Every structure is written in structure tokens, then in C-alpha cells.
Amino acid sequence: MRVYRGPSDLEDILNDSRIPHRLPDLEDIVEAQKRIAGVATRTPLVESPALSKRLRKEVYLKLECFQPIRVFKIRGAYNKISQVPDKNILAVSSGNHGLAVSYVGKLLGKKTTVILPEDAVQEKVNMVLEYGAEIVRYRGDVSKGWELARQMVKSTGATFVHPFNDPEVIAGQGTCGLEITEQLPDFDSVIIPVGGGGIISGIAIAVKSRKPSAKIFGVEPQAIPKLAAAMKAGRIVSLPVHSTAADGLIPPAVGDLTLEACVKHVSGVFTVTEEEIIAAMKLLIRDAHIFPEPSAAVSVAALLAGRETNGLGKRIVLVITGGNVSLNLLARNLST
């Protein structure tokens, strides 16, 4: 079976020649913030007194689940696609990136195609369809999806919108970090879920530029700890994809840009178990009164179960990345 080995594997379909392949800086993120105003929401940043008490920290939640499409990915997708001259765009996604691309594509009058796995969360598939994108499904490992993307980009010439390893996507996600620095004058650390590393990279660049003393931490499911592996090895490591409730965090590898940002800015990476992810989701529902998807709950999972968290400091921002939760999963966990 072909294994996806990071973005170098995809060089031939990164066909957007407008932009140099380098990390964005603070200025790029400030530009992105102007661009996405009125499309992406300046989401609330609120303390959760119940979580603060329970976790014996000052716990603030950055509620990206309150974006119009209930996930942060609208930020990067709009910053990218609003600058793409091509009418045809194509994305490969486990769900949320595809949803963002189809939503933004509809706003901007693009012809959008989204490649999704057969086992994508049904609610996410429905939303992609609602916004008028054409869907192509594949069976098997995510590398199959990338292979399909390569073939389709070559045959159609559509502009490929990478889910994370793209300077304009990273700059867009970074606007979430800018907002945190604007909304909370003082904080010690930010904890961010890691899929391919797009949002942690963007937030890290924004936060470290504005507030160098703050620490950035990543969290990934034990099923696919690709950022921890890559930071340890000092290079992109492609892992086998094991099943996880955190369906948004399944890329088998980070990208070269996101690895560069994480090596530079990230103080540590937590890995969390499936049980901790579900427990964190329940905690957020019952104590913080929001409905996160499992991928978004990993930020809280990192603080559970007596893990050593002194390095995080006292005042912690948890990025709750999205709320597109499977209703079956939710029903199962509300009734227990």
C-alpha cells in the first residue's frame, strides 16, 4: 500500500504558483485578519469557572465551535480561497476542511470538489453536500485520498487547497491566535489539538510574536502521535493510521511548514487516550455547557487523569476547535 510521506509527496499538485512555500509571519496573519473579517467570527474567549475549579487552573476556552460552520477551518479556507484566481478548487479532507472549503467556495462562487473517506462522520458529509460541493468518496487509508487528489488535480487543473501545509491556510488559522492575544491580556499557555498542524502553527506564530513568554502545547490522540514523533525525529514521520474518535486528527504526518513552526515554537506535545477524549467531551458538555466534537475535546483531555501539567502555568487557554459532532456519539454519551 502506498503510504503518504508528507507534503513532499504532493509537490506535483501544489499548483498555486502565486505564493512562496514559506511560513507566514505576524504581518501575513494581520493581513489575513482583515481579509476574513465578516466571514469568520471573532469567537468568544471565556473562562469556565467550573473547569477552573475542577482542574485547579484558570481555564479559558477559545470557542471555535461557535464559528458559522462550527469549526476553525473557515479562517484558513477563506484566507486562501479568496486569493485563488482559479474558479475550480479541490480539497481532500476527513470532513471539516471539506466543509470549510465547500462553504467558502459557495460564498465566492467557486466550483468545489471534496474528496472524503467512506467512513467520514455523516453529519460532516451532509454539510459538504448542503453547500453544493461535488463529493468523491474513497475507501481505505487517507493515502488513497491523496492519490485520488493527485489524479484529479492533474486531469482537471483545479487548484488544490491543502488542509494545513499552505502558507495562506496557516496565516488564516493564525488569526485565532491574534484574537487570543487581543482578548486576554495575560496568559501562560495555549493548548491546541493537532491534526496536520495548521492551527497550532498559525496560533504559535501569532502568539509568540505578540507575547513571547506564552508557551504553546499540542495535543494528539495516542492513535496517531505524528507531531510528537516528528519533533523527536527532527523530520516528518508518517505513521500508520489507527482508528480514533478524534476523526479530525487523522492525517498520518505533519507538513514541512507545520513541522518547522512547531519545532520553533511548541514547548511540548501531549498524547491522550480514547477514554480521555470521551471523558473530556463529556466534561465540556456537562461542565462548560458546550458541544465539542471529540477532536476539539483533546485540549481538555490533556489536563485530565493526573498528567504532569505544572509546565503549563496557571492561566491556560484551551482551543476548542470544533463542534461538528456525530449525533449518535453524542446520544450514547449523554445517556451514560
Return residues touching its own copies (CB under 8 A): 38, 41-44, 46, 48-50, 63, 66-70, 123, 126-127, 130-132, 183, 285-286, 289-291, 324, 327, 330-331, 334-335
Which lies closer to its own copies via its Cβ, residue 3 or residue 290? 290
Contact 221, 112 (CB under 8 A): no
Say what the alpha-carbon torsion angle 202, 207, 209, 212 is, to the nearest 10 degrees.
-140
> What is the phi/psi pair of residue 153, to 5°?
-65, -40
Cα separation, 103 vs 248, whole angstroms: 17
Shortest Cβ distance from residue 275 to its own copies (Å)?
21
Shortest Cβ distance from residue 323 to its own copies (Å)?
8
Contact 17, 155 (CB under 8 A): no
**Grid cell for residue 189:** 499557555
Which lies closer to its own copies via its Cβ, residue 19 or residue 107? 107
Shortest Cβ distance from residue 265 to its own copies (Å)?
27
**Nearest alpha-carbon partner for 141 in 4, 11, 6:** 4
Three-state secondary structure call for residue 163? coil
Which lies closer to its own copies via its Cβ, residue 104 or residue 219? 104
Shortest Cβ distance from residue 261 to its own copies (Å)?
28
Which lies closer to its own copies via its Cβ, residue 155 or residue 335? 335
Which lies closer to its own copies via its Cβ, residue 131 or residue 164? 131
Which lies closer to its own copies via its Cβ, residue 44 or residue 268? 44
Distances in Å between the Cα of 12 and the Cα atoms of 7, 42, 160 are 10, 35, 10
**Nearest alpha-carbon partner for 89 in 106, 65, 70:** 106
> How far is Cα of residue 179 from the mean position of the Cα atoms in its chain?
16
Shortest Cβ distance from residue 286 to its own copies (Å)?
7
Which lies closer to its own copies via its Cβ, residue 19 or residue 135? 135
Shortest Cβ distance from residue 287 to its own copies (Å)?
8
SS3 content of the chain, % helix, strand, coil (to 5): 45, 15, 35
Shortest Cβ distance from residue 313 to its own copies (Å)?
22
